[in-house]
Amino acid sequence: MKNEERFMREAIRLSEESVKNGGGPFGAVIVKDGKIIAAASNKVTQNNDPTAHAEVSAIREAAKKLNTFNLSGCEIYTSCEPCPMCFGAVYWARLDKLYFANTKQDAKAIGFDDSFIYEEINLPYERRKIPNIQILRNEALKAFKDWEENEDKTEY
């Protein structure tokens, strides 16, 4: 567990540095073959970007560096259990393993409560806090049909 602890300590260091720089208390590193290939901290407020979470930023950096959207063979270390967006990104990136330090309950205790998102996902469209209104489905299905019939597509 020595290497794992070293990588997690770097994610934690990034989270502490982020707080000092006016950001949220989150850091993440992505490791491939025992080396850190990407590192990021939360930059939501600095970049005015609600998706600039540490995990998403690290995934973007690793994908760019490796020139691939498939991060199989990599692991992510995060200073906190990922939010729903980041959790989804970890799976979409096909990372092999997720290590985390703080829990989502720890995050909730300091004001980062994502439980409402988990609840919203399970609600019918009409009961969600942000109106979810489906329109033009039949027109939109054409792109899905085109994708399905495309023999040269890159599946992901």
Which of 55, 119, 120, 149 is an active site residue?
55
Residue in 29, 41, 9, 42 with CA at minimum distance from that of residue 74: 29
What's the rounded Cα separation, in Å, for the pair 104 and 106? 5
CA nearest neighbour of 81 among 23, 8, 4: 8
C-alpha separations of 109 from 102, 103, 124, 129 in Å: 11, 10, 28, 23
Alpha helices in the chain (DSSP H): 2-20, 44-47, 54-66, 84-92, 104-109, 115-122, 137-149
Residue 56 near residue 85 (C-beta atoms within 8 A): yes
Give the phi and the psi of residue 50 in degrees, each rounded to 5. -65, -10
Known active-site residue 55: yes
Please give the positions annotated as active site: 55
